[in-house]
Amino acid sequence: MDDYNGKIIDVHKFPSPNPNVELKQITYLSNGLKVKGLLAEPRRELVSDGFLYLRGGIKNVGKVRPSRIAQFAQEGFVVFAPFYRGNQGGEGHEDFAGNDRMDAFSAFLLLKSMPNLKNIHIFGFSRGGVMALFTGIEFHEAASVVTWGGVSDMTLTYMERNDLRRMMKRVIGGTPGKVPEQYKARTPLYELEKLAVPVLIIHGAHDQNVSVEHSYRLERRLKSLHKRVESWYFEEYTHYFPPKINRKIVQDLTKWMKNQSLK
- Which residues 6+ apart lie within 8 Å of 206 measured at CB? 235, 236, 237, 238
Q: Is 81 helix (H, G, I), strand (E, B) or coil?
A: strand
Please name the amino acid found at residue 91.
Answer: E
Do the Cβ atoms of 200 and 230 come closer than 8 Å? yes
Do the Cβ atoms of 108 and 6 come closer than 8 Å? yes
- Which residues 6+ apart lie within 8 Å of 80 measured at CB? 26, 37, 38, 39, 40, 50, 51, 52, 53, 107, 110, 111
Do the Cβ atoms of 80 and 150 come closer than 8 Å? no
Catalytic status, residue 239: yes
Per the residue annotation, which of 93, 231, 239, 261 is the catalytic one?
239
Residue 219's closest CA among 190, 193, 189? Answer: 189
Residue 260's closest CA among 130, 108, 122? Answer: 122
Per the residue annotation, which of 16, 30, 126, 211 is the catalytic one?
126
Cα separation of 80 and 72, whole Å? 10
Work out whether the CA dihedral 89, 98, 81, 105 comes out positive or negative. negative
Catalytic status, residue 152: no
Distance of CA 160 to the CA centre of its chain: 21
User: Which amino acids are annotated catalytic?
Assistant: 126, 239
